[in-house]
């Protein structure tokens, strides 16, 4: 099929071969980072297959540059051609420095290639390779890199670098203007605060790492057990892990204290699923009589090279000293990955991967320093101001006529006008961010919210894409049995007592029959096969259905033993106390637990289970024993699980099966209700399972078993042959019932998703769960609205299939997309650009079976392709990479631990709090910061305009208008409080913002802070500065002191009035700030004798002149604002009026 795909012109074979080699070299150099993992996932095909390797949208220059792997877009590549001076000015210097630093780091940390390994049991010294230390390290810096690292992070911003240069210039006598403290004090303050904040964060990380690394474990040696720190564990060590202890490194499972030779582990911090997973010990070592015998045998484990995939493992276990040597193949069920927790018994394992090579570390990405969009926009504006500053200084020197040492004058002018770019901008914004964080944490409508990254609260107001996890984020991960349908009759939650009565009566009948049979000593024989098929009574059908649900599963009842001393989990023996209160059920799927809990509630209880048998307790307390002959596990391909059991009392063999309706509809006998009822239940948001059975004779079973064991031993196409044998059983099965289980949603998920959708936010659900489950939750949570179609992306494995499927998807309009992780991988490999473009047009996207790295990869793709702000929400350890990759990460403290909420920028307790966090706090933070930033710039511009007017009047002299303290006082005590009180301003009441989420759409356009609004502020500053200065010069008396007094007083009053003009909603603190600043100014007039003539200030002349100038500078703006509100009011004012 792939041959017929029309391709864009591609390279010649020789060029492609060279490119392939180059790419292979690039990937091997990249080490185990992003490049390598992509490479390991799709091994390069041979060079002849280069066509298949090329994405559709690629021309020859794609591989020209070693840095560009084939995920770079044509769009991104065009921008890379801007070389030369323009490129240097437009940030080229930064990328030059960055690439040099990257190259240095790359040289220093040459990553070694990952290799497969042979690990001898208990002999770390036999390892040929040197493996990484088993230490966890989340710190960003060490002792030596801390100060340089923090300073680099600060001075890579143009704003801060500029202040550093200006402050340093004051050490040159010829350039000195005013006092040193006017420049160094603000800069020192900003740096001190930043360094303190980083140091505290870094120390916390250090403490957390140290705690993890110093956990003690028992290591088995020839001389017995020794205690060893987690960070000192090596490859080849035999480690003992107790119940409820974290597994310190990736191990192969050798022995367990459990009789069954298997144990349960909790994997919630690895894959986000809260259910327990069953792991099986290597049978050769489990059979050894005693623990110490592990050292008497000569055995090794061969393990594949470390990989990202947490769901697969290939290896072999070999014992050499037995005759013949024992070889056992190892798969994922024989492994214990790091960061999982042992849930039952004690386990002994041999360490195969440590430190950076463990699955959990390979699946986490390094946290990046997040910078808000608003900060980047302000950084652009400061660059524009800097250009204006240079232009203004050059004009001044030119008007002077380049006399004398003009370049020194140029530099003096640059320093005089340096207030155009105010240092207080960073101080105000950082304090503002801290204030927003404090407000978010104090909001009683969203209790328990924690702001962990104080630098990006404005991002909450700019989000376009929201990526959310499913399990534990949208759902509570608590399954409840809701519906049982028998074809003719359906039972809901309110009619479960009827089922209970039927079960009780049917079991009391069978018991009395059994006692009668025993009396007449007739052997029990199968009644059903000989009797003609009559329509059975409802009671017997319910009995059969409940029994099937109670038997067809992989659930194990676990009993907590009463003895306080022995905190071991014991498997129930027949003689043990089967009391209900200390029994818990464990399974790898919460659905199965819900079904078994339901059968217990209607009277049929699972009391014990091991690998070969299980026991049920009837309502009357009788114990029924069933021998488990075969179990066919659930896989994502077959979508069903089966079990063959033999009833001990009657020796009947029954094959039970349950699975998804798509898989079961072809297996069960013909009926007319199954499809319709499945559809009805799915629309209610229930997860449906179809249950069926088939009775087997002894001969039928023996024939099946011989064919099955033969298929399991075959070397070629084993999986296919086994599936074919099982399918021979799966024919004409008797349909028993249809069950509906509900995964309860978190509180208020539906209205919250509705609100976010109305706010113009596109929601993507990224989950590790199965496709059916994910689709079901997408419907029930209204992520996909009822009217929308769902397009399920068919599984694709190669380029041709991906091409056809993408074309099929392109024809659909306004439908939600559901795609599995592996198909997504194929699409991104060949058609990344097209796929993302199509997916972005969907109202909702659901990606299921996603690995943690895939989730992060999707977030990065959206950032690159759309350039919009992304947010990630999750609650488990598997969401950490996605949360760290997104522009704004929100963690939910859930059942899956606190890992996500600790790694996130904002931590909340419930999903519904996101609505208020974005609509109210996001909106306010962005609007306030935009107003604050522009106002602080206005404050600097207005005084620079006055300086320019003053210099031009006095023959272009580079003399400061206001000396020393006046300048410091102007930026601090006289105007600081009113300007900073803008952080209390709000344009819309919180209730209105939540009621009309559509208002949020305006924010994403970024209109509150743009070059347009900035230019308006520049014009206002020039107008006011000009009026103030010319007014003072026109009205001034014989002395120069009077100009300073009149213009400075008018300037302060103008600033205070301008704050009042900018405010949209008054707060009592704002009024206090206005009067406090005015009071401070009036009080300080008495002390500033060197600047002001006190006798002149107290005259009426002074008062009327100041008032006149102030009125002329502010009144026109008030009139303009009034007209604008009348003629083109903003959208929110229409709602509030």
Residue-by-residue DSSP string for 78-94: HHTT--HHHHIIIIIHH
Residue 273 has pLDDT above 80, yes or no: no
Residues with Cβ < 8 Å from 1056, sequence gap 6 or more?
975, 978, 1074, 1077, 1078
User: What pLDDT, on the 0 to 100 scale, is given for residue 101?
Assistant: 61
* Lowest-pLDDT range of 170-179, 330-339, 562-571, 801-810: 562-571
Is the Cα dihedral 1021, 1022, 1023, 1027 positive or negative? positive
- Whole-number average pLDDT of the chain: 83
Q: What is the DSSP string of 164-217?
A: HHHHHHTTSGGG--S-THHHHHHHHHHHHHHHHHHHHHHHHHHHHHHHHHT-EE
Most confident listed range (43-57, 362-376, 669-683, 1080-1094) = 669-683
CA distances from 498 to 480, 547, 713 (A): 18, 16, 48
527 DSSP assignment: H
Averaged pLDDT for residues 611-633: 91
Residues above pLDDT 90, as percent of the chain: 47
Between 207 and 185, name the one with better pLDDT. Answer: 207
Using 50, 70 and 90 to split pLDDT, how confident is the model at 743?
Answer: confident
Structure tokens at 620: 């009357």
User: What pLDDT, on the 0 to 100 scale, is given for residue 679?
Assistant: 83
Between 24 and 1092, name the one with better pLDDT. Answer: 1092
* Lowest-pLDDT range of 256-260, 449-453, 558-562: 558-562
Averaged pLDDT for residues 1090-1105: 83
Cα 163 from chain centroid (whole Å)? 36
- What are the DSSP E strand ranges found in 230-314? 238-241, 250-256, 262-266, 276-280, 299-303
User: What pLDDT, on the 0 to 100 scale, is given for residue 41?
Assistant: 39
Asked if 776 and 643 touch (Cβ cutoff 8 Å), the reply is no
Residues with Cβ < 8 Å from 992, sequence gap 6 or more?
999, 1132, 1135, 1136
Averaged pLDDT for residues 124-147: 87
pLDDT digits 0-9 by tens, 923-975: 999 999 999 999 999 999 999 999 999 988 887 887 888 877 788 788 888 88
Asked if 602 and 619 touch (Cβ cutoff 8 Å), the reply is no
Give which of 418, 561, 491, 284 is closest to 944, Cα–Cα.
418
pLDDT digits 0-9 by tens, 187-203: 888 788 889 888 888 88
pLDDT digits 0-9 by tens, 505-561: 988 887 777 665 554 443 444 334 333 344 568 889 999 999 999 999 989 888 876
Asked if 1094 and 1039 touch (Cβ cutoff 8 Å), the reply is no
Residue 438 has pLDDT above 70, yes or no: yes
* Lowest-pLDDT range of 445-449, 774-778, 992-996: 774-778
Q: How far apart are CA 806 and CA 795, in angstroms?
A: 11
What is the phi-psi region of residue 503: left when phi exceeds 0, alpha when psi lies from -120 to 50, beta otherwise? Answer: alpha
CA distances from 882 to 327, 356, 458, 875, 876 (A): 40, 19, 20, 11, 11
Q: Cα dihedral angle (930, 932, 937, 940), rounded to 10 degrees?
A: 180
Host H or E run for residue 790: strand 789-792
Using 50, 70 and 90 to split pLDDT, how confident is the model at 714?
Answer: confident
User: What pLDDT, on the 0 to 100 scale, is given for residue 516?
Assistant: 57
What is the phi-psi region of residue 774: left when phi exceeds 0, alpha when psi lies from -120 to 50, beta otherwise? Answer: alpha
**Strand partners of residue 119:** 301
User: What pLDDT, on the 0 to 100 scale, is given for residue 292?
Assistant: 85
Averaged pLDDT for residues 242-248: 93
User: What pLDDT, on the 0 to 100 scale, is given for residue 373?
Assistant: 93
Asked if 909 and 449 touch (Cβ cutoff 8 Å), the reply is yes
Between 365 and 613, name the one with better pLDDT. Answer: 613
- Residue 461's CB is within 10 A of a number of other CB atoms, namely 29
Structure tokens at 178: 């005013």
Q: How far apart are CA 380 and CA 371, in angstroms?
A: 14
Asked if 884 and 365 touch (Cβ cutoff 8 Å), the reply is yes
Q: Cα dihedral angle (947, 948, 952, 953), rounded to 10 degrees?
A: -40
Place of tokens 């690998």: 611
Catalytic residues: 469
Peptide bond into 979 cis (omega under 30): no
């Amino acid at each position: 099929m792939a041959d017929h795909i029309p391709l864009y012109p591609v390279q010649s074979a020789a060029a492609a071969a060279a490119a392939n080699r180059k790419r292979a070299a690039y990937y091997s150099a990249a080490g185990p980072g992003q490049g390598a993992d992509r490479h390991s996932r799709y091994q390069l095909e041979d060079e002849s297959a280069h066509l298949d390797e090329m994405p559709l949208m690629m021309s020859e220059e794609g591989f020209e540059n070693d840095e560009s792997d084939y995920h770079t877009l044509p769009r991104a590549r065009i921008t890379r051609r801007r070389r030369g001076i323009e490129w240097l000015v437009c940030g080229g210097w930064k990328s030059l420095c960055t690439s040099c630093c990257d190259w240095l780091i790359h040289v220093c940390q040459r990553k070694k290639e990952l290799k497969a390994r042979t690990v001898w049991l208990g002999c770390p010294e036999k390892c040929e390779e040197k493996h990484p230390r088993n230490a966890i390290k989340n710190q960003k810096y060490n002792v030596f890199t801390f100060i340089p690292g923090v300073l680099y992070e600060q001075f890579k911003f143009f704003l801060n670098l500029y202040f550093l240069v200006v402050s340093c210039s004051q050490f040159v006598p010829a350039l000195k203007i005013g006092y040193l403290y006017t420049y160094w004090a603000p800069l020192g303050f900003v740096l001190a605060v930043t360094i303190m904040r980083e140091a505290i964060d870094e120390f916390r990380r250090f403490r957390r790492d140290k705690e993890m690394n110093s956990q003690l474990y028992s290591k088995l040696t020839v001389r017995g057990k020794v205690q060893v720190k987690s960070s000192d564990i090596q490859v080849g060590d035999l480690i003992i892990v107790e119940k409820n202890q974290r597994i310190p490194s990736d191990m192969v499972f050798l022995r367990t204290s459990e009789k069954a030779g298997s144990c349960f582990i909790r994997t919630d911090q690895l894959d986000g699923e809260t259910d327990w997973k069953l792991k099986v010990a290597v049978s050769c070592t489990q059979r050894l009589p005693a623990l110490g015998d592990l050292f008497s045998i000569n055995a090794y484990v061969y393990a594949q090279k470390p990989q990202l995939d947490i769901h697969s493992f290939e290896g072999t276990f070999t014992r050499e000293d037995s005759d013949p040597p024992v070889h056992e193949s190892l798969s994922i069920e024989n492994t214990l990955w790091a960061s999982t927790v042992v849930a039952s018994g004690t386990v002994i394992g041999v360490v195969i991967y440590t430190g950076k090579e463990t699955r959990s570390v390979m699946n986490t990405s390094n946290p990046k320093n997040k910078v808000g969009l608003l900060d980047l926009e302000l950084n652009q504006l400061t660059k524009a101001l800097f250009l204006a500053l240079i232009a203004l200084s050059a004009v001044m020197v030119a008007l002077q006529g380049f006399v004398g040492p003009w370049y020194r004058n140029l530099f003096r002018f640059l320093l005089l006008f340096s207030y155009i770019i105010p240092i207080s901008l960073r101080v105000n914004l950082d304090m503002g961010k801290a204030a927003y964080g404090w407000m978010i944490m104090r909001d009683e409508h969203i209790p328990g919210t924690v702001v962990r990254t104080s630098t990006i609260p404005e991002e909450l107001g700019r989000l376009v894409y929201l990526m959310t996890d499913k399990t534990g984020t949208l759902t509570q991960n608590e399954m409840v049995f809701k519906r049982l349908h028998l074809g003719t009759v359906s039972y809901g939650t309110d009619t479960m007592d009827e089922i209970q009565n039927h079960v009780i009566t049917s079991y009391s009948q069978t018991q009395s029959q059994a006692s009668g049979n025993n009396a007449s000593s007739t052997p029990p024989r199968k009644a059903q096969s000989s009797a003609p098929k009559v329509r059975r009574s409802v009671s017997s059908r319910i009995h059969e259905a409940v029994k099937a649900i109670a038997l067809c599963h992989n659930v194990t009842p676990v009993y907590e033993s009463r003895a306080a001393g022995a905190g071991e989990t014991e498997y129930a023996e027949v003689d043990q106390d089967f009391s209900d209160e200390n029994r818990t059920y464990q399974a790898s799927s919460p659905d199965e637990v819900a079904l078994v809990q339901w059968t217990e509630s209607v009277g049929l209880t699972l009391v014990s289970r091991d690998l070969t048998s299980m026991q049920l307790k009837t309502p009357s307390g009788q114990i029924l024993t069933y021998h488990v002959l075969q179990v066919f596990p659930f896989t994502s391909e077959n979508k069903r699980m089966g079990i063959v059991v033999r009833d001990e009392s009657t020796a009947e063999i029954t094959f039970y099966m349950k699975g998804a309706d798509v898989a079961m509809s072809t297996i069960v006998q013909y009926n007319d209700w199954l499809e319709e009822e499945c559809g009805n239940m799915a629309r209610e948001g229930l997860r449906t399972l179809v249950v069926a059975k088939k009775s087997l004779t002894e001969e039928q079973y023996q024939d099946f078993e011989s064919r099955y064991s033969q298929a399991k031993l075959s070397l070629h196409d084993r999986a296919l042959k086994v599936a074919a044998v099982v399918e021979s059983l799966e024919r004409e099965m008797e349909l028993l019932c249809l069950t509906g289980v509900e995964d309860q949603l978190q509180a208020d998920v539906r209205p919250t998703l509705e609100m976010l959708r109305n706010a113009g936010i596109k929601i993507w659900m990224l989950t590790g769960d199965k496709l059916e489950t994910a689709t079901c939750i997408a419907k029930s949570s209204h992520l996909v609205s009822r009217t929308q179609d769902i397009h399920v992306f068919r599984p694709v494995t190669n380029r041709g299939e991906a091409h056809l499927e993408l074309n099929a998807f392109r024809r659909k309009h306004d439908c939600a997309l559901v795609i599995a992780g592996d198909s997504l991988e194929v699409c991104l490999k060949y058609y990344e650009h097209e796929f993302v473009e199509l997916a972005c047009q969907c109202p909702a996207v659901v990606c299921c079976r996603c690995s943690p790295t895939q989730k992060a990869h999707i977030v990065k793709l959206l950032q690159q392709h759309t350039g919009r702000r992304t947010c990630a929400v999750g609650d488990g350890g598997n969401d950490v990479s996605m949360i760290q990759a997104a522009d704004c990460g929100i963690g939910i403290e859930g059942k899956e631990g606190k890992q996500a909420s600790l790694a996130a920028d904002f931590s909340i307790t419930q999903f519904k709090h996101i609505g208020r966090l974005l609509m109210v706090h996001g909106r306010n933070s962005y609007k306030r910061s935009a107003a604050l930033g522009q106002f602080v710039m206005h404050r600097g511009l207005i005084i620079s305009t006055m300086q320019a007017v003053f210099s031009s009047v006095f023959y272009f002299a580079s003399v400061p208008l206001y000396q020393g303290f006046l300048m410091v006082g102007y930026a601090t005590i006289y105007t600081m409080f009113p300007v900073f009180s803008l952080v209390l301003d709000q344009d819309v009441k919180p209730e209105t913002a939540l009621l009309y989420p559509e208002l949020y759409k305006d924010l994403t356009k970024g209109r509150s802070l743009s070059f347009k609004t900035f230019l308006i502020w520049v014009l206002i500053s020039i107008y006011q500065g000009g009026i103030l200065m010319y007014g003072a010069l026109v009205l001034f008396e014989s002395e120069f002191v009077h100009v300073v007094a009149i213009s400075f007083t008018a300037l302060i009053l103008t600033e205070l009035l301008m704050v009042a003009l900018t405010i949209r909603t008054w707060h009592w603190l704002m009024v206090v700030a206005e009067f406090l600043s005015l009071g401070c100014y009036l009080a300080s007039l008495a002390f500033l004798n060197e600047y002001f003539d006190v006798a002149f200030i107290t005259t009426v002349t002074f008062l009327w002149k100041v008032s006149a100038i102030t009125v002329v500078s502010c009144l026109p703006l008030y009139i303009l604002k009034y007209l604008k509100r009348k003629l083109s009011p903003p959208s929110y004012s229409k709602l509030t009026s």
